[in-house]
Structure 1
Amino acid sequence: MEERRRVEQEREDLLMRAQLARAEAESANRAKDEFLAMLGHELRNPLAAIISAVSVLDRIGQQDGVALRARDAIRHQITHLGRLVDDLLDIAHVTSGDIVLTCEPLNLATSVQRSVSNLASTGRLERHVIDVRAEPVWASVDPTRLNQIVANLLTNAIKYTSPGGTIRIRVGGEEDQAIVGVADTGIGIPPSLLPYMFDLPVQGDKRLDRAQGGLGVGLTLVRRLAELHGGRVQVFSEGPGRGSEFVVHLPRIEPAKPVDSQSVLRVIGKVASAR
């Protein structure tokens, strides 16, 4: 009898400690999300002021090469900061349940290629070989959020792939899943970091984004948006120097209209379009 009471007491103690640890983790996550939301809002006002100042410089500023290059650099960083602010706010909104998806049946081959073209039009892909291989596959998705997923995965690949490297985007179907994959020939990921690539950074975090001076929120947002669509995201890498691939799985649906089953191949960048 005494032994039974001791075992039961140990079980209760373990349960209490587990519940306490879970509550502390949930509290820490809430505090982190609240901080990110506050940071995003605080950054918006000075960012708007910088945008206005650059517009004034465009109208009255010097037109020599140095001044033009300086303004181009400022605009580039403004765009980067704008995306970061949007991601910070979206992560907070997703966590709090404030994001409402407006889903519609989409051919992911067409939608992903449009997202790639939009990013290419900004000049951000011009230093890499971008290889898009897309087969028609349908999913019910929010077009804006799908574009956000693709843009964040491409931005991540660009960040860790040297100029001249290759970034491959694939779209297709696997059984009941619609697949969007982004692979690169970049610096790769150590095996020890793979389980944490989609987590928000914490103090002392040694992930790749921290080493590169980033906050690492883009991949976190990709995972949360994929999960909102009933999907998931995976990361693969054979290790440092071996590149990496991020694969988004979304529930596949039947085509909303007849499509050409022929695979589409398009290459943007340093290689001409394949025929």
Structure 2
Amino acid sequence: MKKKSFLSGISAKLALAAVALTTVVFTSCEKESINVEPVELPNASATIAVTVYSLDNGSVLQTSMETIAAGADGKIAAQEKTIAAPSIEGYLPGEAITVKVPALDRGQYALIPANIYLQSEVGAAKNPIVTEDEVTPDTPEAPKTSEFTNDSSEDKTITVTYNAIRGQVVENLKEINEYIDAYVPASKAFTNAEINTVLKALVKSYNTGLKEEPATASVLVPANSTITIIPTTQMNKTVCTITTTIEGTLYTIPNVQIRKAGVTTFTTQTNGHGHGHGDNGNAGGGAAGR
């Protein structure tokens, strides 16, 4: 069964095209009492101003101008022009729109705005829910250490900056994409390929990556000493089920395996000797990993 293309199935909502026309007419003039050479009017001209918007938030994705030249007689005949929706990474394909160009004589100019709205791949997946079916601790990560020196003769509490790991990765992204290709059916408004693209983009949005980011804490630094901040980020592995709705159809993606950063704590060493910090002997302040 042939499926409708992306925008045709939800025409009014997604294939929006706003078309307006502004015509300015210039004419020659001649006074009876004065001989004036007839004014030669310029050729007719029409410009289509295309603006492509994101349907998600209304931001401008792309702009372009298309000029319609006059014929040999300097005029433009009434006609229709088809404007193709551009291909933009991360957005579903849109349909072409048609604008009407009026008949224009010499000296006339038409400006025709044409607005196209595209749906992002992730934005087409509505109300996504991630259910953690299983959570297990994983091997902690050790971000880079950092040092701070107190040169004064008195103990001093200072604000230190240390490294914390944040983010998460989908560890079986390849397998999940293969599952989507093999299992997911089309909807009334989307083809199989479009549904697959949306679901893959949704899963990929949870694959943010792991990276070190700065965090701060207050630490007591003894007089005339240097401390080393030694952070540790707790890591967790989760097995998740992701559900979402696309054009009224519910889709479920099971067994999504995510490894994500938890809380970062730290210990301190002063002049090479362990120094307790925080609520227990060695535990330090922490920063959440997500």
TM range (shorter): under 0.3
Tell which structure's C-alpha radius of gyration is larger: 2
TM-score, length-scaled by structure 1 = 0.19
More helix by share: 1
